[in-house]
Amino acid sequence: MKESGKKEIWFVAGSQHLYGEEAIKQVGRNAKEIADTLDNSSAIPLQVIFKCVGTTSEEIRSICLEANNAPECAGLIIWCHTFSPAKMWIGGLSALKKPFVHLHTQFHRDLPWSEIDMDYMNLHQAAHGDREFGFMCTRMRLERKVVVGHWQDGDVQERLGWWARAASGWHALQSAKICRIGDNMREVSVTEGDKVAAEARFGYSVNGFGVGDLVEYVNGSSAKEVGELCARYEEEYDVVPELRKGGARHASLQDGARIELGLRAFLNDRDAAGFTTTFEDLHGLKQLPGLAVQRLMRDGYGFGAEGDWKTAALLYTMKVMGEGLTGGTSFMEDYTYHLHPKGHKVLGAHMLEICESIAAGKPKLEIHPLGIGGKEDPVRLVFDVNSGSAVNATVVDLGNRFRLVVNEVEVVDADEALPKLPVARAVWKPKPDFKTSAASWIYAGGSHHPIFSKVLTSEVLEDFAAMAGIEMVLINEQTTVSEIRKELRFGEVYYHAAKGFSFAG
C-alpha cells in the first residue's frame, strides 16, 4: 500500500555560456552546495539531488524528459543563478510533466559592498535571471510555486518543505488504487463524481468490488490470527471489560478482528491505497467495519464512508503529505453544532470511522448499538482530540471540474465531558468565525466529509491544488462571504476558460 522506493527532488540551475566555462563550473558548485543543504534540511522530507546546470535548449529538454521518466522523481527545484535566456526553457517546460518550484534565491546572502565588481555582478544575477525565467513560466501559463529568499533562511526551507510534501502526495496519487467496496449510499450526491475525469486529473483509479469479495477474506482468517489480534487490541487500547478475553461480548471483538484481518488482506492483494465502505451494503459482514477502518487509516490507508471515493483518495494523499510529522489526519464529518451566542462550535465525528492518529491519549475500545445498517453492534475506538490548529479539506466534483475547499479551524476542548457519546469526536471553531465559514463552505459546495488534519497547513494543500491544476477555495481568517461569492463566480469563468489560456492550446 505504501509507496515503494525513495522519492527525490531534482535541483536544476539555469545559466548560459556568455560568461565562460569557469563561470558555469562555479554555478554548478554553488548549486550543488544549495541542493546539499536543502537535502540535509529537516524541513524538507524528500532527498534533494543536484542534477545539472542547464545552458542550452537541448540540455534543458533532456533533463525534463529524464525527470518525466524517472519513477523516483517527485518534482524539480529550478533556480537561475545567472541570467538564463528563457526561450531555451520552452521545449523542456512544455514537455515537463512533474511539478516544479521556482526557487528565487542567490548564492551569497549579503552584498560584498567593498569588493563588488562586474565579475561578481555577472555571476550572481538571479535577481534578473529568475525574472526572465518567471516571465516564461507565466507566458506559458504554467502552475508552479515561487519561493523567495536566501536558501539558508529557515522560512525558505519551510516553504520548500511544504511544497515537497505536496509533491510527495501528488507522486503517490499517480499510481494509487482506491477500492470501492459496495456502491454509494443511495441518493447521496456529493459523494458521487466522474471516476474517469478523476483518473485523468489526479492519476488515481477507483474500481468497485462487491462486498462478497471482502467477506471471503473475512471468513478466511484463522482462529490463531484472530486471537493474536485481540490480544494486541488489549495492549494498545483501553478495552472495556465486556470485550476483553473472557468478557461477555468478547465474540464481538473477535468479529471486529476478523473484519480487520480480512480487510487488510483484501486491500493488500489489490495493492490498494484506499477504500470505501457503505452501511447499506454489508451482506455477509456481521458488523459495519469500524475499528478495522480506524486502524487502517492509522496505517496510512485512505478511507471514505458511504462510497465516498474522492475523500478516500484525498485522505491517502494527505497521509503521504504528512508522513513523519507529529499529529494526525483523519476522515471526518461535520456532525452537529453548538450555536450558543458566546461561541458557535462544530462537533465533528462519524458513525465510527475516525482515525486514531488524531487521538488525545490512549483510545478506549468500546461496543455500542448502531441504529443504522441493520447489523450487530460494531466495536469502535472512542477518543477526544487535543486542542490546537487544524484544517478541513474536501474535493468536490462540479461536473466540469474538481474544486478543493479548505477551511482553517481551531480545535477546542468540549465545554463538558461527553459520557454518552459512543464515537471519537473533535470540537472546533472554524475561521474566521462559524457563520462566515459555514456560509462560505456551503456556497463553495464543500462536502460534509472533510479530511481533518492536525499536521498539514493550507499552504501544502494550495501547492497540491496547483500541481493538480484545480481550483482551491480557502476559508481562513481573511475570508468574507461577499469576497468568496465573487471568487466563486470568477473561478467559474477562469476554470471554464483556462484551457484556452494555455501556452500550447
Contacts to Mn ion by CB under 5 A: 305, 333
Q: Cell numbers 555577472 correspond to what residue?
A: 122
Bridge partners of residue 348, in order along the sequence: 334, 426
452 neighbors 329 (Cβ within 8 angstroms): yes
- CB-nearer residue toward Mn ion: 8 or 333: 333
How many Å separate Cα 152 from the centre of its chain? Answer: 26
Q: How far is the CB of 396 from Mn ion (least distance, A)?
A: 15
Q: How far is the CB of 356 from Mn ion (least distance, A)?
A: 18
- CB-nearer residue toward Mn ion: 394 or 440: 394
- CB-nearer residue toward Mn ion: 92 or 446: 446
- CB-nearer residue toward Mn ion: 305 or 466: 305
DSSP category for residue 363? P
List of long-range contacts for 17-21, beta carbons under 8 Å, 24+ apart: 17/55, 17/56, 18/82, 18/83, 19/82, 19/122, 19/123
CA dihedral sign, ordered 440, 446, 450, 454? negative
d(CA 118, CA 393): 50
Q: How far is the CB of 449 from Mn ion (least distance, A)?
A: 6
- CB-nearer residue toward Mn ion: 26 or 447: 447
- CB-nearer residue toward Mn ion: 44 or 349: 349
Q: How far is the CB of 347 from Mn ion (least distance, A)?
A: 14
Q: How far is the CB of 370 from Mn ion (least distance, A)?
A: 13
Nearest to 77 by CA among 167, 180, 5, 190: 167
Q: How far is the CB of 304 from Mn ion (least distance, A)?
A: 9
Number of Cβ atoms within 10 Å of the Cβ of 345: 21
- CB-nearer residue toward Mn ion: 125 or 184: 184
Nearest to Mn ion by Cβ — which residue?
305
385 neighbors 311 (Cβ within 8 angstroms): no
Q: How far is the CB of 350 from Mn ion (least distance, A)?
A: 6
d(CA 128, CA 132): 6
- CB-nearer residue toward Mn ion: 156 or 423: 423
Question: What cell does 237 get?
Answer: 487500547
d(CA 272, CA 114): 61
Nearest to 100 by CA among 132, 131, 134: 134
DSSP category for residue 51? E
Q: How far is the CB of 185 from Mn ion (least distance, A)?
A: 8
